Amino acid sequence: MADSHFDLSALAHASQDLYAAVRRDAPLVQCLTNFVSMNITANVLLAMGASPAMVHATDEAPEFARVAGAVVINIGTLSAPWLESMLLTAASARQAGVPWVLDPVAHHATAFRRNAVQQLLALRPAIIRGNASEIIALAGGRSASKGVDARDSVAQAEQAALAIAVAHQTVVAVTGETDYVTDGKRSVRVTGGSALMPCVTATGCALTALVGAFAAVSKGDPYIAAVAALSCFGIAGQRAGALAEGPGSFAWRFLDTLAALETDSLTRESPLR
């Protein structure tokens, strides 16, 4: 899909520049994420050169957001105290001009989650990263999912992503076999990755945090931040998948390939379509 503001080569070069900035600046990424994903999320951020901070307590998280490069909010293991902290932290980040990223994990599963996501959306995330089923449901459509796993294709979610981007003036990244990123005006597909990724828990959650790292250095263009993060994930996942014998070896190989990713890989092996 052609991008209306950048040709794919220019977009790949812009993504490469952001990757170099993440390596150079080691942005501080505050993660209010779920218990399942904390370890892999921190390791993915470290592998890419960013600095993770798992600061979620109501007593300190809103204050910490003002010094972070970006804030990531993931509702995977949501509770009332965590929701309070998430709302206060998102508001604090927005007031401080710090970009924040929303991962609406299984938001359509219960009334509590649906209400939580609507409150968070009102605080204007810079980027929303979700699977196809989550994005379709977020736009008010009927998804095939009954839990955290996607049962819909990314292609089925593209119009929903576009509608959300326009309605909430945000960037939406739909991830799956081929990812789709849009800000309502620009859009692109990102290939790569591995079929083993869904077999390793919380890889999507870790990707959302990586999107936050790129948003921290993107100088106000969250669209390119999302594209760059997904590109790195796609290239590293493809490399790791080619060598892995199963989910276990994929998990450690993926961290290694992320850490070893060359800056020029984003142009030399560009996954943008």
Which residues are documented as binding site for substrate?
A: 54, 202
DSSP states along 128-178: EEEEHHHHHHHTT---S-SSSS--S-HHHHHHHHHHHHHHHT-EEEEESSS
Annotated binding site for ATP: 129, 175
Annotated binding site: 54, 129, 175, 202
Q: How many residues does the chain have?
A: 273
CA distances in angstroms from 60 to 31, 55, 79, listed in the order given: 13, 7, 17
- The Cβ-side half-sphere exposure at 250, using a 13 Å CA radius, reads 19
CA distances in angstroms from 65 to 60, 71, 131, 254, listed in the order given: 9, 7, 26, 29
DSSP states along 187-237: EEEE----TTGGGSTTHHHHHHHHHHHHHHTSTT-HHHHHHHHHHHHHHHH
